[in-house]
Structure 1
Amino acid sequence: MKRAVFQLEPLTCPSCIKKIESTLNKTSGIQSATVLFNSSKVRVEFDEQDISTEQISKIITKLGYEVR
């Protein structure tokens, strides 16, 4: 398993956390995803054989959140 941290634009609501975590945790290849609301970061543990950091970033962007 590999770990990565994605810095997002500032998150403004708790429902943002649920939306991001729910989507990522249902994605094949992702073991776990945790949003750190105060720092606007997403920690992801994933299998790099199944999904790349670029693909994870695109998923987050499609949800409407800008990855820095």
Structure 2
Amino acid sequence: MSKAKATFQLEPLTCPSCIKKIETTLNKTEGVESAKVMFNSSKVKTEFDECQVKASQLEETIKKLGYPVLSSKVL
């Protein structure tokens, strides 16, 4: 298991339901251990298994939900 973390900077979020939508979708994604949306900073923090899913796939998932990703940082 290759554990990795990634943070995605989104455009400013405007509603609590946006948070739930992003967190629920990412947490259901295979390989994702945790996904947490920081509403005030509009960031999504994730922990995942790189053997199962890549940061680029998580970014694509966020974009498909309709939230533009301004930047991403993989740790």
**What range is the shorter-chain TM-score in?**
over 0.9
C-alpha root-mean-square deviation of aligned residues, in Å? 0.4
Q: Percent identity?
A: 63
Shift of 1:5: 0.4
The two structures have a TM-score, normalised by structure 2, of: 0.89
Question: What are the residue-to-residue correspondences of 1:34-49 with 2, within 5 Å?
Answer: 34-49=36-51
Of 54, 64, 67, which aligns to 2:66?
Answer: 64
1:23 aligns with 2:33: no
State the Cα deviation string for residues 35-61 of structure 1 (Å, max 9, x = none).
Answer: 000000000000001111110000000
Q: How many residues align?
A: 68
Of 3, 6, 11, which aligns to 1:4?
Answer: 6
Large movers: runs of 4+ above 6 Å: none
The two structures have a TM-score, normalised by structure 1, of: 0.98
Unaligned runs of 5+ in 1: none
Q: Distance in 2 between matches of 1:19 and 1:67?
A: 15
